[in-house]
């Protein structure tokens, strides 16, 4: 049985960029893994593979920000894969 999970993290940006930026990934997770996934990487414990990554997304205060739109896209991808 395959399980997919959305992973989020903050992204480092140059000092001249204002605001907060993030990263979203859809990962195939080992169903036997217990505990949280600590990083967005194929090498992370419990991760079988990274399906798709959205990087350097502005984290605005509304769902219309780049981060919010990518989150909706990631949720629809998980529904397609399941």
Q: Is 34 exposed, middle or buried (0-12, 13-18, 19+ CB in 10 A)?
A: exposed
User: So what's the pLDDT on residue 1?
Assistant: 64
User: So what's the pLDDT on residue 2?
Assistant: 76
Supply the Cα-derived Rg of the chain in whole angstroms.
14
Kindly report, residue by residue over 29-52, the tens digit of the pLDDT. Answer: 999 999 999 999 999 999 999 999
Are 43 and 34 in contact by the 8 Å Cβ rule? The answer is no
The whole-chain average pLDDT of the chain stands at: 95
Distance CA 68, CA 82 (A): 21
User: So what's the pLDDT on residue 7?
Assistant: 97
Taking the CB of residue 78, how many other CB atoms lie within 10 A of it?
A: 14
C-alpha distances (whole Å) from 17 to each of 2, 7, 32, 35, 54 are: 38, 23, 40, 34, 18
| Domain residue spans of the chain | 3-81
């Amino acid at each position: 049985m395959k399980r997919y999970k959305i992973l989020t993290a903050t992204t480092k940006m140059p000092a001249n960029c204002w605001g907060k930026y993030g990263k979203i990934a859809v990962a195939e997770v080992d169903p036997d893994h217990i505990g949280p996934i600590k990083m967005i990487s194929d090498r992370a414990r419990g991760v079988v593979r990274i399906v798709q990554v959205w990087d350097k997304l502005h984290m605005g205060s509304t769902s219309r920000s780049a981060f919010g739109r990518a989150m909706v896209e990631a949720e629809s991808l998980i529904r397609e894969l399941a």
